[in-house]
Amino acid sequence: MTTELRKVAVLGGNRIPFARSNSAYAAASNQDMLTAALDGLVSRFALEGERLGEVVAGAVLKHSRDFNLTRETVMSTRLDAATPAYDIQQACGTGLQAALLVANKIALGQIDCGVAGGVDTTSDAPLAVGDDLRKLLIKLNNARSTGDRLKVLAGVRPGMIVPAIPRNEEPRTGLSMGEHQARTGARWGVTRAEQDELTARSHHNLAAAYERGFQADLVTPFLGLERDQNLRPDSSVEKLAKLKPVFGGPQGTMTAGNSTPLSDGAAAVLLASEEWAQERGLPVLAHLVTGETAAVDYVGGDEGLLMAPAYAVPRMLDRLGLTLQDFDIYEIHEAFASQVLSTLKAWEDAVFCQERLGRSAPLGAIDRSRLNVNGSSLAAGHPFAATGGRIVAAAAKELYERGGGRALISICAAGGQGVVAILESNGSN
């Protein structure tokens, strides 16, 4: 059986403003935030009571009670409770990978519409019980008499009560993502100045996007926030230059300014077949053309933890016969300014492209004025799994408003992974 592939339309998205960790959304759970993002999307596109093909979302930091997070969320929204849903998790690539999964089913004709999203909270992060305490609790559970229980409890030591706080750290290397990137950045000779410059531009671009009303139908206020909490419209290279390094030691170039802060938030994006959109009179902002996922060996190999997109993009380009310069806008997720700059340098580098990618020539430079034109994670914040949805919706809308074009989306993820995708738009025709 052969199935003709259908085009996958991006109809729009919705997210809640992103908050800094332990701040505006400190009391909100993943489910609360994802519900808010999804309900906003439902009301924006009048999906109340509609049964969608599926909702795919996820969170990177999850409580055990959130095992069925997305389905539970759907049940809290005004969507038809008959809308199926499932969770995925691919670190910071979760949101974009979710979109690719939904898109693939639409393309294959298995579903007509779906929502992809993601959510993360670093404020309500799960605390793991230490191994010692866990064993003790099992004993306590099995104790028959009060006397036995008291005996078990007598074995509790203060050290056991301290929960194993989940760290933003790679289990295989014991290094935080920032430390990993500090190494990669140093390896690519990324300077403090260029990182700060990229950061300031991200803030200015996002602030301008809010100013011109670009975000009005992409963001729904939540719990008192109307804009991303991390956004500093008056950010400048001079101000950023005053910050102390937080990664790479005292001589490091990575600061709290040019690294994304821990954030809370959720995002969702509506995908559908052309017919589904047409039936409802919904304009197609862009098409999700294809995606690619890559992984690198950052443990045994000597590649940087966050360099996988540098591999994923050329593979995807080759598949479509495109060059890196064939894009009108580039959405490169700013996990760290250093990550974006390292990736761009790699693509411009003959050695990387020849030795690591096996290409005869570098991919070349991109027009920097087309990079993250509405700001990215450095300004907006980065609730891990929510970033993909934010980017897909914003990039689709930007293309649509420009009257068409092509966008490259690139998101790096923990575990040495990278998810990338291409959007194309005909504008309002």
Residues marked active site are found at 92, 382, 412
347 in contact with another protein (CB under 8 A): no
Q: Which is nearer to another protein, 7 or 356 (CB)?
A: 356
The minimum distance between CB 246 and another protein, in angstroms, equals: 15
Picking from 50, 52, 45, 40, the residue whose alpha carbon sits closest to that of residue 84 is 52
Tokens standing for residue 375:
């700001």
Helix or strand holding residue 181 (H, E): helix 177-187
Out of 20, 39, 260, 298, point to the residue binding another protein (CB under 8 A). Answer: 39
46 in contact with another protein (CB under 8 A): yes
Out of 90, 122, 215, 220, point to the residue binding another protein (CB under 8 A). Answer: 220
The site string for another protein over 178-217 (x = CB under 8 A, - otherwise) reads: -------xxxxxxxx-----------------------xx
- For tokens 């519900």, the residue is 35
Three-state SS for 401?
helix
Three-state SS for 289?
strand
The minimum distance between CB 195 and another protein, in angstroms, equals: 10
81 in contact with another protein (CB under 8 A): yes
54 in contact with another protein (CB under 8 A): no
The minimum distance between CB 126 and another protein, in angstroms, equals: 16
Spell out the residues 6+ positions from residue 255 whose beta carbon is closer than 8 angstroms to its own: 192, 196, 240, 243, 244, 245, 246
Q: Treating both helix axes as pointing N-terminal to C-terminal, what angle do 337-348 and 177-187 enclose, rounded to 10 degrees? A: 40
Interaction residues for another protein, span 255-314 (CB under 8 A): 280-283, 285
12 in contact with another protein (CB under 8 A): yes
Q: Treating both helix axes as pointing N-terminal to C-terminal, what angle do 131-142 and 146-154 enclose, rounded to 10 degrees? A: 170
Residues that bind another protein (CB under 8 A): 12, 16, 24, 26-29, 31-32, 35-36, 39, 43-46, 48, 75-78, 81, 185-192, 216-217, 220-224, 251-253, 280-283, 285, 345, 348-351, 353-356, 362, 397, 400-401, 428
